[in-house]
Amino acid sequence: MTDPAIELKGISKSFGPVQANKDISIRVMPGTIHGIIGENGAGKSTLMSILYGFYKADSGEIWIDGSETQIPDSQAAIAAGIGMVFQHFKLVENFTVLENVILGAEDSGLLKPSLTRARKALLDLAQEYGLNVDPDARIDEIGVGMQQRVEILKALYREAQILILDEPTGVLTPAEADQLFRILHRLREEGKTIILITHKLREIMEATDQVSVMRRGEMVATRTTSQTNPEELAELMVGRKVLLRVDKVPAQPGAKILEIKGLRVRDDKGVERVKGIDLNVRAGEILGIAGVAGNGQSELMEVLGGMRAGSGEVLLNGQPLELIGANGRAIRDKGIAHVPEDRQREGLIMDFHAWENVAFGYHHDEKYSRGLLMDNAALRADTEAKIEKFGIRPPNGWLSAKNFSGGNQQKIVVAREIERNPDLLLVGQPTRGVDIGAIEFIHKQIVALRDAGKAVLLVSVELEEIFSLSDRIAVMFDGHIMGERLPDRTDEKELGLLMAGVAGEAA
Amino acid sequence: MDFLTLIQVLDSTIRLTTPLLLACLAGLYSERAGIFDIGLEGKMLAAAFFSAAVAYVSGSVWLGLGAGIVSSVVLSGLHGLASITFRGNQLISGLAVTMLAQGFTVLVAQDWFSQGGRTPSLSGGARFTGITLPFADTLAPVPFIGPIYAELISGHSILVYLAFALVPLTWWVLFRTRFGLRLRAVGENPAAVDTAGVSVTGLRFSAVIICGVLCGIAGAYLSTALQAGFVKEMTAGRGYIALAALIFAKWRPWHALWACLLFGLLQAIALRYQSINLGGIVIPVQVMDALPYILTVVILAGFVGKAIPPRAGGEPYVKER
């Protein structure tokens, strides 16, 4: 029997009081794609960072190809034939592709011979695996899909036999993700071993041979992918049965709540990010805006939320909305609630208590005031009610926002905004960094608001989320709406093309 | 202004540019590696004192230079320890280095020499003297070229030639060698360097040490070549002007040369003309002295385009979770 390419035995690692990995053992056979799945914070990335020498395990052994190997730093990991593509790329942005590839793997003190050799090697690798990149392009001039290829090339240039990819599809369009998986299959054919870390069940089912599930720092199960199913994996991840699909009745759209005509928005650098779009959202429906991050969705949400100026016309309940000089409070008073995309920067003050956070933006409300003073008792009572209703854990309003998990932080924001019973709810990336259990809950709340006859404008880069929540889908690319589709009359492939800027026929 | 005056002003420009250029290149190495250093001034000051003190006591300017470099490198090490090892605030650490140097140079000078915080005047082998280049005397009578060669190019101390030679050398190191590639990378994205299996700490310390050596030479030049001995606060803000020149140059070696020459020229003009009479309007010397700073403000206000510092500059490197 062949030795495993990688065998981890009893790996444990703590960060202060938090135990990220508890006695983890795993065997990865050579020439396979091995998935590691788990919720955010389950310890997947920590485990792989230990394997790559980025962190040092508190205890445990690492065996590579049947012999015990010490990996005190990344240098040792590279020497052992391990390459890693991090979730956040480790590239020098103002260097060329070529310079990034040779960095740390130069042949000699002078750069020229290394550059010449690397240029040739990149051409060979491009042919072998379909990893085409322009060696002289600067990293900040190429797209994320290309940047990811550079990361893979970096590993292959160092002759990695084992490739670890941490959440590789988070920033990719579906087409780019498909291409990535083709490349991974190609690498497997050449005998490379691949570890794929993800929280997306679909990717595990499509791409892997084996899958290991992690939950709260522990390895709970390993399955052969062909002999399991998404429901079983989700249950293993969360520790209880979960509903993967949102149960909802067909929408019953009413009057137009939000009408956008020819809206244009510039970002902080003066670059136009929203280039004249028309949209409308009716009462009792969820309009989902799909698109790869950075195509103007954020700016659109910021304008509607009163955080940014724009030009064009926006009507709320038929009344024009101030687009210049508007502020969050004026917008909120008109009946728009906003769950911002980045909850840690825009939705919460991380060092403040939950009970202070739970009413941000509404502090002036009579409910929370006693004359000129804030009514802290009322605030705390309100917090208790929201903790109860939204199942916020731990149920302690005195904890700082930063002490809650991502999912519970988001529940605080969602509770605050939805409980205002707004006419229009703006939701940006509602489940980014949120665990499956909380996703289920947050989705239910959004649908409930819709069923109560309110309008919801949803922005998400997760197509799965767009599909399961939206009653209508608009795709944004480069500041334009590429088209609108109905979720039951389109598929990921079609949306993927629109997201990549390939125009389809009008809906 | 006649030709000879022009030559003299330019000659003085070169002498005054030298310490700026050395300090500017020192800062370039450090900041390209992501360590901001506002302590250039302090390191130069310490080096100026120890160079002069050791040169006076030993009678050898070379020993003086060595002592200057060592003292500056020690302060660099301190800055490195605070900002790399202990991940402290680089601005505060740099400021502390300068304040420390401003205090102890005068204190130690008073204790050792009892001349009111200065060192005794240096002479003979305790100073760097000008080097007469070959054929300088022969060529001197030739019109135009003669004075340029004999007055402007020839006759400077070895440190002047060193400073100017460091410009192409620094360019070559940064853009043609492995060390340079890694140095630039660590100032832009230390995580990329770390995951490539190269020590971030090691690289940043080498950059900081190089910075110390160059500041040491700059300081030694001030007290043993430009002037003959150490006086209190003799760096007179040159460390800060060098930083301004570095921003002006957008952290590039050749541009650093031009920026330092410009600031050197301003200083030379201020030195030669105590007040300038422009068609009845007298420009006081204080305005000339302030010009480098005014220029810096204008530059930083975006007059010459945006100066983008190395992306990881000023940030201690912490592995993210």
Alpha carbon distance A49, B7 (integer Å): 63
pLDDT score, position A507: 41
**Pick from B177, B179, B192: CB nearest A90:** B192
Identify the top-confidence range among A69-78, A246-255, B135-144. Answer: A69-78
Least reliable range by pLDDT among A114-123, A356-365, A409-418, B288-297: B288-297
Contacting residues for A106 by C-beta, under 8 A, at least 6 apart: A114, B178, B181
**From CA A97, how far away is CA A471, in angstroms rounded?**
42
CB contact under 8 A, A106 and B191: no
In A111-207, which ranges are continuous DSSP H helix?
111-129, 144-157, 174-189, 201-207
Look up tokens 């003979």; give the residue: B124
Beta bridge partners of A473: A288, A485
Which tens digit of pLDDT belongs to each residue from B262-304? 999 988 888 887 777 777 788 887 887 788 778 777 876 766 6
Q: What is the mean pLDDT of residues A19-36?
A: 94
State the pLDDT confidence band at B320, using cuts at 50, 70 and 90: low
- Which DSSP letter does residue B274 get? S
pLDDT digits (tens, 9 = 90+) for B184-216: 999 999 999 999 999 999 999 999 999 999 999
Question: Which of A46, A77, A106 lies nearest to residue B178, judging by beta carbons?
Answer: A106
DSSP string, B225-247: IISSS--TTTTTTHHHHHHHHHH
Cross-chain residue pair B189–A103, CB shorter than 8 Å: no
B299 part of a folded domain: no
For A49, name the nearest residue in chain B, comparing CA atoms only.
B321
B177–A154: do the CB atoms touch at under 8 Å?
Answer: no
CA angle A77, A83, A88 (to 5 degrees): 110
Partners of A236 in beta bridges: none
A103–B198: do the CB atoms touch at under 8 Å? Answer: yes
Query: Is residue B86 situated within a structural domain?
Result: yes
**Alpha-carbon gap: B255 to the closest alpha carbon of chain A (Å):** 19
Residues of chain A found within 8 Å of residue B193, distances taken between Cβ atoms: 103-104
Q: How far is CA B130 from CA A244, A389, B23, B69, in A?
A: 82, 84, 21, 21
Contact A94 B185 (CB under 8 A): no
Instruction: Give dist(CA B170, CA B253) in Å, integer.
Output: 6
Contact B194 A91 (CB under 8 A): no
Cβ <8 Å between B195 and A109? no
- What is the reported pLDDT for B321? 47
Write down the residue that tokens 């889908």 correspond to. A473
Q: Which residues of B touch A108 (CB under 8 A)?
A: 178
The one-letter amino acid at A14:
S
Domain of residue B107: give its range.
3-235
Separation in Å, CA of B201 to nearest CA in chain A = 13
- Which structure tokens are listed for A461? 């880069």
Least CB-CB distance to A111: which of B178, B198, B311? B178
Quickly count: other Cβ atoms within 10 Å of residue B296's Cβ.
19
Q: What's the whole-number average pLDDT of chain A?
A: 90
Separation in Å, CA of B320 to nearest CA in chain A: 10
CATH number of A6-238: 3.40.50.300
Percent of chain B with pLDDT over 70: 97
Q: In this structure, which amino acid lies at residue A208? A: T
Please tell me which residue of chain A has the smallest CA distance to B198. A104
In a domain? residue B223 = yes
Beta bridge partners of A83: A163
Give the ipTM: 0.89
Mean pLDDT of A125-147: 89
Whether residue A106 and residue B188 make contact (CB cut-off 8 A), yes or no, is: no
Decide if B181 and A99 are in contact by the 8 Å CB cutoff.
yes
Give the residue among A11, A152, A159 at the shortest CA–CA distance from A82. Answer: A159
Q: Give the burial class of B103: count Cβ atoms within 10 A of its Cβ; 0-12 exposed, 13-18 middle, 19 or more buried.
A: exposed
Q: Which residue of B has its CA nearest to A110?
A: B177
CB atoms A154 and B198 under 8 Å: no
Verify whether the Cβ–Cβ distance A103 to B185 is below 8 Å. Answer: yes
Q: Do A90 and B196 touch (CB under 8 A)?
A: yes
- pLDDT at position A504: 57
AA letter at A374: M
Q: A64-119, pLDDT tens digit by residue?
A: 999 999 999 999 999 999 999 998 899 999 999 999 999 999 999 999 999 999 99
User: B286: buried, middle or exposed (CB in 10 Å: 19+, 13-18, 0-12)?
Assistant: exposed
Which strands, in side-by-side order, build the sheet including A319-320? A272-282, A256-266, A310-316, A319-320
The answer to the question of residue B14 being in a domain is: yes
**Strand order through the sheet with A210-215:** A82-85, A162-166, A193-198, A33-38, A210-215, A218-224
A78/B197 touch (CB, cutoff 8 Å), yes or no = yes
Q: Which of B179, B184, B198 sits opposite A104 (nearest CB)?
A: B198
Q: Note the pLDDT tens digit of each residue in A331-346.
A: 888 899 999 988 888 8
Rounded CA gap, A58 and A18, in Å? 13
**pLDDT of A7:** 94
Q: Nearest to residue A166, comparing CAs of A147, A145, A194?
A: A194
- Is B195 close to A99, i.e. CB distance below 8 A? no
CB pairs A-B closer than 8 Å: 75
Structure tokens at B168: 């192409």
* pLDDT of A384 higher than 90: yes
Thinking of the domain A256-499, which architecture would CATH place it in? 3-Layer(aba) Sandwich (3.40)
The answer to whether position B160 is within a domain reads yes
A106 contacts on B by Cβ (under 8 Å): 178, 181
Over residues A260-301, the pLDDT tens digits come to 999 999 988 888 999 999 999 999 999 999 998 889 999 999
Chain B residue whose CA is closest to A158: B196
Q: Which of A54, A93, A110 sits opposite B195 (nearest CB)?
A: A54
Contact B319 A86 (CB under 8 A): no
- Mean pLDDT, residues A125-139: 90
Pairing of strands A256-266, A310-316: antiparallel
- Which distant-in-sequence residues (6+ apart) come within 8 Å of A153 by Cβ? A97, A101, A122, A125, A131, A133
- Distance in Å from the first CA to the final CA of chain A: 57
Q: How far is residue B157's CA from residue B51's CA, in Å, rounded to a whole number?
A: 15
What three-state secondary structure class fits B78?
helix
Mutate to test the interface with B, among A103, A106, A159, A163 (most CBs of B within 10 A): A103
pLDDT interval class at B305 (50, 70, 90): low
Interface of B with A (CB under 8 A): 176-182, 184-185, 188-189, 191-198, 311, 319-321
Provide the pLDDT confidence category of residue A370 given band limits of 50, 70 and 90: confident
Q: What ranges do the domains of chain A cover?
A: 6-238, 256-499
Whether the pLDDT of residue A197 is over 60: the answer is yes
> In this predicted model, what pLDDT tens digit does every residue of A442-451 receive, in sequence order?
999 999 999 9
Among the partner-chain residues A74, A78, A95, the one whose CB lies closest to the CB of B185 is A95
Contacting residues of A for B195, CB less than 8 Å apart: 52, 54, 74, 84, 86, 90
Residues of A whose CB is below 8 A from B320: 88
Tokens representing residue B117 in the block: 């915080």
What are the phi and psi torsion angles at B4 (to 5°)? -65, -40
Q: Contacts of residue B194 in chain A, CB cutoff 8 Å?
A: 54, 74, 90
The CA distance from A501 to A480, in Å, is 9
Q: Mean pLDDT over all residues of chain B?
A: 91
Q: What are B49's two structure tokens? A: 């004192």
Whether B196 sits inside 8 A of A55 (CB atoms) is no
Q: What is the CA radius of gyration of chain A?
A: 25
The strand pair at A472-477 and A455-459 is best described as unpaired
On whether residue B105 sits in a domain, the answer given is yes
Name beta bridge partners: A196. A35, A165
pLDDT greater than 90 at residue A42: no
Q: In terms of pLDDT, which residue wins out, B45 or B278?
A: B45
pLDDT at B81 exceeding the cut of 80: yes
Residue B108, pLDDT above cutoff 90: yes
Does A102 sit within 8 Å of B195, measured CB to CB? no
pTM score, whole prediction: 0.81
What is the rounded CA–CA span in Å between residue A324 and residue A479? Answer: 19
Query: Looking at the partner chain, which of A105, A110, A114 has a beta carbon nearest the beta carbon of B196?
Result: A105
* Identical fold, A6-238 and A256-499: yes
- Residue A66: CB atoms within 10 A of its CB come to 10
Please name the residue of chain B whose CA is at the shortest distance from the CA of residue A157.
Answer: B196
Interface test with B, best of A19, A92, A93 (most B CBs within 10 A): A92
**In chain B, which residue ranges form alpha helices assigned H by DSSP?**
3-32, 40-58, 61-80, 90-113, 136-139, 145-147, 158-176, 178-188, 190-195, 200-221, 238-248, 253-272, 285-298
Question: Beta strands A82-85 and A162-166: pairing type?
Answer: parallel
Range in A43-57, A255-269, A490-504, B208-222 the model is least confident about: A490-504
Q: B197 and A154 in contact by Cβ < 8 A?
A: no
pLDDT of residue B78: 97
In B, which residues are within 8 Å of A84 by CB distance?
A: 195
Q: Which residue of B has its CA nearest to A151?
A: B192
In a domain, B45, yes or no: yes
- Over residues A309-333, the mean pLDDT reads 86
DSSP string of A215-281?
Answer: ETTEEEEEEEGGG--HHHHHHHHHSS---SSPP-PPP---SEEEEEEEEEEE-TTS-EEEEEEEEEE
Q: How many CB atoms are located within 10 Å of the residue A120 CB?
A: 11
Q: Are B247 and B299 in contact (CB under 8 A)?
A: yes
